[in-house]
C-alpha cells in the first residue's frame, strides 16, 4: 500500500486525456489543442461538443449532420414532463430535478439493449442526453411559473433554443451569442470532481445515463458548482445597500468578508473564461442595465489591485462574471448550476467515451485506521 496520503487526490495523476488542458500559472485553457478564446469567439457550442467527442472540428457537412441529429433528439417524453411538473409543484431544487430527468431519459432510450462495449451506441446516447437536458430544464422552470412548456424551436441552435424555451421569445443576437459562449466556456475543464465522478461510474461500464446522472450529482455540491449564484447574491446585496458599490466593497473587506468568485483550485491568475465573460457582460450592459458590470469590475479592481489579491494568486474565476451575465439574460439564479451541468454534459460524455476506449476499473486504495484484534461478543452478551 502506498504510504503517501493525498487528500482529495490532489496532485495525483490518475488518467490521460486529450480533451482539455489547463495551465494555471499562465491562465491558459485549451480544448483538443485549441485556445478557449478562439473557440468561444469563433465556434458554436455544437462545434465544440463535436470537437470534444470526435477529436476534430467539423466541416460544414459534418456540422449539419451533427446539429440535425441533435435537433431530432430534443423532445422529452410525456413521463419526463409530468415528473418535472410534479417536482416543480413540490418546490424541488433545480439540480435535483435535473438529476431525476437525466436518469429518466434512459426509459425512452431506443438502444437500451446495446452492449456496454458498443461505444458508438454510447456516443449516440450521449447525444440524446445533451439534446434533451435543455428541454427538460426549461420545462421545469416553466412549470415553476405555472406556465406550460414551450416546444423546441426547429430553427434555433442549442443555446438560443434554451433561452427561447425558457422565455417564449426568440433571444436577441447578443443574448444568443453570449449564452452560446458561456456554454462553450463550461463544456470541459480537466479532471474536476464531476468529470471524475462520471469517469469512475463509466469505468464500471455502467451506461452513460448513470455516468451523467453521477456528474450532475457531484456538481450539485456547493464546493463544486453554485459559486456564480453566490456572486449574484452579493451583487443583489450591493444593489440594495445604502452604500455605493465602491464603499460597500471597502466595508466588506474591512469586515473580513470573503467575496465569492475569487480563487481557483487550478488557476493562480485570472481565469481565461472570466476574461471572456467580462467582455460579454460589457456588451450586455450596452443593451440594458450597466450596474452589474460596474459592480463586478469595481470589485475586481479593488480586490485584485488595491488589496493585492492578484499578487497572492487569487484572481477572478469563471463564476465571478457568469452570474451577472446569466442574470442579464433573464435566467433565474437557482438555474445557474443546472446550466453549468447542461454545458458540462458534453465534457462528461467525452471523458467517459475516451476512458472506455482503454478501460480499467477505477479502484483506489485507502489506509485503514480502525481498531485491531477486537474480540467478538455474541448478541446475548452485549
Find the length of the chain.
382
The CATH number, out of the four listed (1.10.287.3510, 1.10.230.10, 1.20.120.80, 3.40.50.20), of the domain defined by the range 227-329: 1.10.230.10
Residue 268 has pLDDT above 90, yes or no: no
Average pLDDT, the chain: 94
pLDDT tens-digit readout, 271-302? 999 999 999 999 999 888 899 999 999 999 98
Q: Which residues belong to the active site?
A: 264, 319
Residue 249: per-residue pLDDT? 87
pLDDT given for residue 99 in this prediction: 98
Is the pLDDT at 330 greater than 60? The verdict is yes
DSSP collapsed to 3 states, 240-280: HCCCCHHHHHHHHHHCCCCCCCECCCCCCCCCHHHHHHHHH
Range(s) for CATH 1.10.580.10 in the chain? 28-224+335-357
The pLDDT of residue 266 is above 90? no
28 confidence band (pLDDT: 50, 70, 90): very high
The predicted structure's pLDDT at residue 315: 87
pLDDT at residue 146 greater than cutoff 50: yes
C-alpha cell at 69: 441529429
**Can you tell me the distance from the alpha carbon of 182 to that of 233, in angstroms, rounded to the nearest whole number?**
20
Does the structure show a pLDDT above 80 at 260?
yes
Domain with CATH 1.10.230.10 in the chain: 227-329
On whether the CB atoms of residues 380 and 223 are closer than 8 A, the answer is no
Residues 6+ apart with CB under 8 A from 285: 292, 293, 294, 328
Give this prediction's pTM: 0.94
pLDDT digits 0-9 by tens, 333-376: 999 999 999 999 999 999 999 999 999 999 999 999 999 999 99
3-state SS track over the chain? CCCCCCHHHCCCCCCCCCCEEEECCCCEEEECCEEHHHHHHHCCHHHHHHHHHHCCCCCHHHHHHHHHHHHHCCCCCHHHHHHHHHHHHCCCCHHHHHHHHHHHHHHHCCCCCCCCCCHHHHHHHHHHHHHHHHHHHHHHHHHHCCCCCCCCCCCCCHHHHHHHHHHCCCCCHHHHHHHHHHHHHHCCCCCCHHHHHHHHHHHCCCCHHHHHHHHHHHHCCCCCCCHHHHHHHHHHHHHHCCCCHHHHHHHHHHCCCCCCCECCCCCCCCCHHHHHHHHHHHHHHHHCCCHHHHHHHHHHHHHHHHCCCHHHCCCECHHHHHHHHHHHCCCCHHHHHHHHHHHHHHHHHHHHHHHHCCCCCCCCCCCCCCCCCCCCCCHHHC
pLDDT tens, residue by residue, 54-90: 999 999 999 999 999 999 999 999 999 999 999 999 9
Alpha carbon of 293 to those of 101, 109, 249, 272, 337: distances in Å?
34, 43, 15, 17, 21
The average pLDDT across 324-328 equals 93
Percentage, residues of the chain above pLDDT 70: 99
Residue 13 has pLDDT above 70, yes or no: yes
> What digits encode the pLDDT tens for the residues 204-252?
999 999 999 999 999 999 888 888 888 999 999 999 998 888 899 889 8
Query: What proportion of the chain, given as a percentage, has pLDDT over 90?
Result: 79
**pLDDT computed for residue 1 by the predictor:** 45
Architecture per CATH, 28-224+335-357:
Orthogonal Bundle (1.10)
pLDDT at residue 2, as a whole number: 55
Q: For the purposes of burial, counting CB atoms within 10 Å of the CB of 34, is it exposed (0-12), middle (13-18) or buried (19 or more)?
A: middle
CA distance 348 to 369: 34
C-alpha distances in Å from residue 98, one per residue of 84, 134, 137, 230 = 9, 10, 7, 20
Q: What per-residue confidence (pLDDT) applies to 259? A: 85
Amino acid at each position: 500500500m502506498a504510504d503517501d496520503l493525498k487528500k482529495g487526490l490532489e496532485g495525483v495523476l490518475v488518467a490521460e486525456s486529450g480533451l482539455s488542458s489547463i495551465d494555471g500559472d499562465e491562465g491558459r485553457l485549451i480544448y483538443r489543442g485549441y485556445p478557449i478564446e478562439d473557440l468561444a469567439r469563433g465556434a458554436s457550442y455544437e462545434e465544440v461538443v463535436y470537437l470534444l467527442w470526435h477529436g476534430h472540428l467539423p466541416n460544414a457537412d459534418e456540422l449539419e449532420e451533427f446539429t440535425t441529429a441533435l435537433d431530432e433528439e430534443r423532445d422529452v417524453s410525456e413521463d419526463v414532463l409530468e415528473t418535472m411538473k410534479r417536482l416543480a409543484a413540490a418546490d424541488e431544487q433545480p439540480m435535483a430535478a435535473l438529476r431525476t430527468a437525466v436518469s429518466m431519459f434512459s426509459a425512452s432510450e431506443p438502444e437500451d439493449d446495446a452492449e456496454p462495449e458498443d461505444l458508438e451506441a454510447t456516443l449516440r446516447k450521449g447525444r440524446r442526453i445533451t439534446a434533451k437536458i435543455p428541454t427538460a430544464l426549461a420545462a421545469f422552470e416553466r412549470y415553476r411559473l405555472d406556465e406550460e412548456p414551450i416546444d423546441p424551436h426547429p430553427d434555433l441552435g442549442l443555446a438560443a433554443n434554451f433561452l427561447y424555451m425558457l422565455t417564449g421569445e426568440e433571444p436577441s443576437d447578443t443574448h444568443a451569442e453570449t449564452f452560446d459562449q458561456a456554454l462553450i466556456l463550461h463544456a470541459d475543464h480537466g479532471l474536476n470532481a464531476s468529470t471524475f465522478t462520471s469517469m469512475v461510474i463509466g469505468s464500471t461500464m455502467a451506461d452513460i445515463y448513470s455516468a451523467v446522472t453521477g456528474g450532475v450529482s457531484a456538481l450539485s455540491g456547493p464546493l463544486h458548482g453554485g459559486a456564480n449564484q453566490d456572486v449574484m447574491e452579493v451583487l443583489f446585496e450591493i444593489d440594495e445597500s445604502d452604500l455605493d458599490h465602491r464603499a460597500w466593497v471597502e466595508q466588506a473587506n474591512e469586515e473580513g468578508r470573503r467575496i465569492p468568485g475569487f480563487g481557483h483550485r487550478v488557476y493562480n491568475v485570472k481565469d481565461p473564461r472570466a476574461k471572456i465573460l467580462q467582455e460579454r457582460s460589457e456588451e450586455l450592459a450596452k443593451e440594458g442595465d450597466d450596474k452589474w458590470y460596474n459592480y463586478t469590475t469595481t470589485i475586481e479592481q479593488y480586490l485584485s489591485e488595491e488589496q493585492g489579491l492578484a499578487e497572492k494568486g487569487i484572481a477572478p474565476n469563471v463564476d465571478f462574471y457568469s452570474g451577472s451575465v446569466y442574470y442579464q439574460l433573464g435566467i433565474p439564479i437557482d438555474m445557474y448550476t443546472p446550466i453549468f451541468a447542461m454545458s458540462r454534459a458534453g465534457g462528461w460524455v467525452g471523458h467517459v467515451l475516451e476512458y472506455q476506449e482503454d478501460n480499467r476499473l477505477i479502484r483506489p486504495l485507502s489506509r485503514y485506521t480502525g481498531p485491531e484484534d477486537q474480540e467478538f461478543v455474541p448478541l446475548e452478551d452485549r
